[in-house]
Amino acid sequence: MWGHIWGHESAFSDAPSKNAPMPLTKLECDRATCPTGKPYARLADGLGMYLEVTAAGGKYWRMKYRHAGKEKRLALGVYPEISLADARKRRDKARETLAAGDDPGQLKREAKLARVLMGANTFEKVARQWWDQWKGPKSQHHADYGIRRLEADVCPVLGSRPVDTITAPQLLAMAKRIESRGAVDIAKRSLQTCGQIMRFAVAHGLIERNPGADVRPSDALKPREKENYARLDAREMPELLRKIEAYAGTPYTRLAMKLMALTFVRTGELIGARWAEFDLGAAEWRIPPERMKMRTPHIVPLAPQAVEVLQALQTLSGGRALLFPGERDHERPMSNNTILAALKRMGYAGRMTGHGFRGVASTILHEQGYPHHVIELQLAHQERDQVAAAYNHATYLRERRAMMAAWADHLDRMRKGADVIPMPQRAA
């Protein structure tokens, strides 16, 4: 067997020789060992390829060749992970590269470097760089939600891919995967977020163009079905208000429902409320833009009844930052489902939601002649134009304050009186 290597330098020539040894066999490869006292042994297979066996027992495929007048060696893999047949295929490919005038060893090193560079710019790494910059002005809750969505839905599909290899169809496939489980909104937002990440990559010279620009959610995903939040008829409100007043659950939940009825803000805006947002002396609640759906500030005039609810909450809060802290973690707000669960407990499952208070208020206020634009401003249904919205949040404040006071009085009369009590008509 050792005649394959010892004394047969022709075994490493670029061309076949009549003196070249017989090709190796699998059995010879399996049995090959390094002689005692030697650092390695080399078993030639022909056409420059050989199996190098080290004193430690490792077996490595190598190819000896010449390029530009210099003798070089090329690593072809480790035996037996790379079989004899596969090693010969790699040798033959390297010889084709040589025949074309290129150095197979240099091309291999360049390919390895390219893989390293691409690995440093995977989609996930770029996404986290984008998120680190994007989260700056956002609330902690909003920032945490953004990264959770990336980790849960986007990165498992695209995360390991080099960012410069991602295509529009791949982005669409990711969004379609989310859509398939019924999460249409999340699919749409994920696609939009990917577009932002890709714009970030363009700006930092990582890619030349944004593939997200070729995929619009409206063109690729199912249209979002309009949400119809369950809500009671106005005739059923007196009974609900009385049940809220007598609610036997936690005081935080009872007061949350009372404040929601009095202010008809969104559930997320309510449960995330912080004492720093309130001026009880001025009877105002100023919600910062990062907590609003439309990302613009919002003023909620507080009727005396709402101030009373807030004063009761102050006795419970114990100096905490949140009005409605979570039961287990007081640094996080109560769950979105808390109010929904309470309504279910009172017998309103499928009939009323936290959002339903907004619908009831809008219906009654419109029926009683309050101007549409005043009601819409109080519901924070603002213009998409950011400048206009930022201006409008403080407009018609006097009219809104009067409307909210009348609304609170109307709720009191409904709770105390008959099943149906007309709200006083607004003066012309």
Q: Which two tokens stand for residue 5?
A: 């290597």
Residue 185 contacts residue 192 (beta carbons within 8 Å): no
Torsion angles phi and psi, residue 173, rounded to 5: -60, -40
> CA torsion angle for 197, 202, 206, 210 (degrees, to 10)?
70
- Distance CA(163)–CA(167), nearest Å, equals 9
- Distance CA(141)–CA(332), nearest Å, equals 9
Q: Which residues contact 201 (CB under 8 A, 6 or more apart)?
A: 121, 126, 130, 163, 164, 207, 210
> CA torsion angle for 232, 234, 239, 243 (degrees, to 10)?
60
Q: Is 239 helix (H, G, I), strand (E, B) or coil?
A: helix
- Distance CA(229)–CA(360), nearest Å, equals 11
The number of CA neighbours under 13 Å toward the Cβ of 109 is 7
- For tokens 């990062």, name the residue: 290
- For tokens 């004492």, name the residue: 275
- Distance CA(60)–CA(80), nearest Å, equals 9
Residue 423: Cβ within 10 Å count: 19
Residue 48 contacts residue 63 (beta carbons within 8 Å): yes
Q: Which two tokens stand for residue 283?
A: 């009877």
- Distance CA(295)–CA(333), nearest Å, equals 20
Which residues belong to the active site? 266, 293, 355, 358, 381, 391
- For tokens 């945490």, name the residue: 144
- Distance CA(178)–CA(185), nearest Å, equals 9
- Distance CA(178)–CA(184), nearest Å, equals 7
